[in-house]
Structure 1
Amino acid sequence: MKKIILILFFSLVSYSLSAQEIMANVQVMAPQIPNLNKRNIDVLQNAIRDFINNNKWTNEVYLPQERINCNLIITITSWDGNSNFKAEAQIQSTRPVYGSGYNSLMFNYNDKAFDFSFIEGQPIIFSDQNFSSNISALLTYYAYTIIGIDKDSFSNLGGNPYFNKAQNVVNFSQNSGAAGWRAGEGLRNRFWLNQNMLDNSFNVLRVFIYDYHRNGLDKMQENKTQSINHILNSIGLLQQLDKQKMGALFPNIFLAAKADEFVNIFKLSDINERIKAFNLLIEIDPANQNKYQGLIL
């Protein structure tokens, strides 16, 4: 009996030491592709999930409860009947708030050029140095991006190593012919999202991400009033960011992800603070003004 207990104990310890960084929930849909059956979808879905969840993305040890929760919803829009798929993907990640059961939305992005090839029985090969396939590059890019944003929320500019790894994926994918990797394809793609994250001009936003989560949200359970005041002052620092920069992809995505959360936080404060928060938020994030109206109505 003791031997069985020891085996179970060491198995749990081994799992804890080897737990990967991301826990992804993957859903693949093809509502307009009648000849793509459920089995095809399940095989693809499982391959993508296993690639994200089973690869080791950092050199750090993550406990099972520390894994980053991620949702990846892929909607296939066309299929050539063989191995080529055109698709869109919604990528989301969350971060737990200390001392609570609340998970804060960190990343929420719709990639409209999530096109790839996949052959059943052929593994998705991981490489962060060379292009092996577009599905591998896409999943690797978003894994590093999600980890980078998560790291930014725990340490000041802590995401740099992972944004650099994502940049490497961008660089070696540009000659693949796949969409979304090049600067000249528009201002809302993977190239520009990564460029924004590594551009020193956006460091004010990244410092805010750290301060907001570690010194604001994570301390709400200790002192709610003090934390709300800190968050309000921290948001004011975003006024330092060039107004033209605020219209770029990275701040646009981040603020859209946080708009509802901002409203819920400041609804806990008095009317004077709500008005102050409203005026600040509509200045830095006019795209979500309708949501912020809830603070003064």
Structure 2
Amino acid sequence: MKILIACSLLLLSFYGYSQDLNARVQILSPQVQSTNKRPLEVLETAITDFLNNRKWSEAQLQASERIDCNLVITIKEWDGSSNFKAEAQVLSSRPVFGSTYNSTVLSLNDKNFDFNYSEGQPLDFADQNFINNLSSLLAFYAYVIVGLDADTFSKLGGSAYFSKAQNVLNNAQNAPYTGWKAFEGLRNRYWMVENLNNKSYLPLREILYAYHREGLDLMSDNLNKGRKNIAEALPALSTLDKQKQGAMFNQVFFSAKADEIISIFSKSDPLERTKIYNIMADADPANATKYEELKNAK
């Protein structure tokens, strides 16, 4: 009996250390007229369990080390049965060493998060083939989240996970759902994973490491040193091909980091603020007005 209890505790301990994501899932349906929202509650639970109870990386993490992420799915159309047209907001963050602050790593909107799901249906997934669109969508973003998180802790540490996301995308090429193919737009899952696996974007992935591990993580012990390291990393943004300014990965980075960069350098001396303004306004012209705060800060 003691042996059985010990084995059970060992298994529970392994389970607690084996998962990767701490996902919070919310399903919104402001446009859905149905009064029976129970199927949506069941769906929300199924998605949460799928993301949180699967192993997405090879790392053995304690519960406190799981990657915080949020998935907000807004149902635009529902036939009352199993067909859903939706969009999703995907967010992930990682803790900053020596602080209670979490830094946003991923922030994007997927306008084509359509899927088919029946209440009680098991969410099956296999890396080798396409089973259904919902599990493929969730697996795709799970690998992207884990990969970007890994990139912030070790230089180019997310490569294996971006390859897995690429595999999910490849398996979905013949699926009758939008967002998986190159010709369907410039800001979709195809281009996100293409950018993440494209050598042209290695400088941006290396910035992720320097920004977080050599910058933010040092700031609680040495504010000036951490901020200096970030300032030295950001000029690499200018090495990105100007023709790719509208690229998906670029925009995801700026969406996650624009406000944070302004906050980090708002207390810098005027010379450094002007330098960072010039770098960011050139690399991210869509947010140039926002970066004006750096020049106007006192």
Give the TM interval when normalised to the shorter protein. Answer: over 0.9
In 2, Cα distance between the equivalents of 1:30 and 1:142? 21
Offset of 1:167 from its aligned partner? 0.4
What's the counterpart of residue 272 of structure 1? 271
Offset of 1:36 from its aligned partner? 5.3
What's the counterpart of residue 17 of structure 1? 17
Alpha carbons 1:163, 1:194 under 8 Å: kept: yes
Please show how residues 245-256 of structure 1 align to structure 2 within 5 Å. Answer: 245-256=244-255
Please show how residues 109-128 of structure 1 align to structure 2 within 5 Å. Answer: 109-128=108-127
What's the counterpart of residue 258 of structure 1? 257
Q: Structure 1: where are the runs of 5+ without partners?
A: none
3-state SS in 1 of match to 2:46: helix
Offset of 1:11 from its aligned partner? 7.5
What's the counterpart of residue 163 of structure 2? 164
What's the counterpart of residue 153 of structure 1? 152
In 1, Cα distance between the equivalents of 2:14 and 2:182? 43
In 1, Cα distance between the equivalents of 2:136 and 2:112? 13
Q: Structure 2: where are the runs of 5+ without partners?
A: none
3-state SS in 1 of match to 2:143: helix
Distance change in 2, residues 1:11/1:162 (3 Å): closer
Offset of 1:16 from its aligned partner? 3.9
3-state SS in 2 of match to 1:23: strand
TM-score by length of 1: 0.94
In 1, Cα distance between the equivalents of 2:162 and 2:206? 15
Identity among equivalent positions (%) equals 50
State the Cα RMSD in Å.
Answer: 1.9
In 2, Cα distance between the equivalents of 1:196 and 1:15? 33
In 2, Cα distance between the equivalents of 1:234 and 1:280? 11
What's the counterpart of residue 27 of structure 1? 26
In 1, Cα distance between the equivalents of 2:275 and 2:118? 55
Alpha carbons 1:256, 1:288 under 8 Å: kept: no
Alpha carbons 1:97, 1:103 under 8 Å: kept: yes
What's the counterpart of residue 290 of structure 1? 289
Distance change in 2, residues 1:191/1:104 (3 Å): same
Please say which of residues 8-17 and 125-134 is displaced more in the overlay. Answer: 8-17
In 2, Cα distance between the equivalents of 1:78 and 1:109? 21
Offset of 1:188 from its aligned partner? 1.1
In 2, Cα distance between the equivalents of 1:15 and 1:178? 34
Distance change in 2, residues 1:23/1:36 (3 Å): farther
Offset of 1:291 from its aligned partner? 1.7
In 1, Cα distance between the equivalents of 2:257 and 2:88? 20
Offset of 1:10 from its aligned partner? 5.5
Alpha carbons 1:30, 1:75 under 8 Å: kept: yes
Task: Give the paired residue count.
Answer: 294
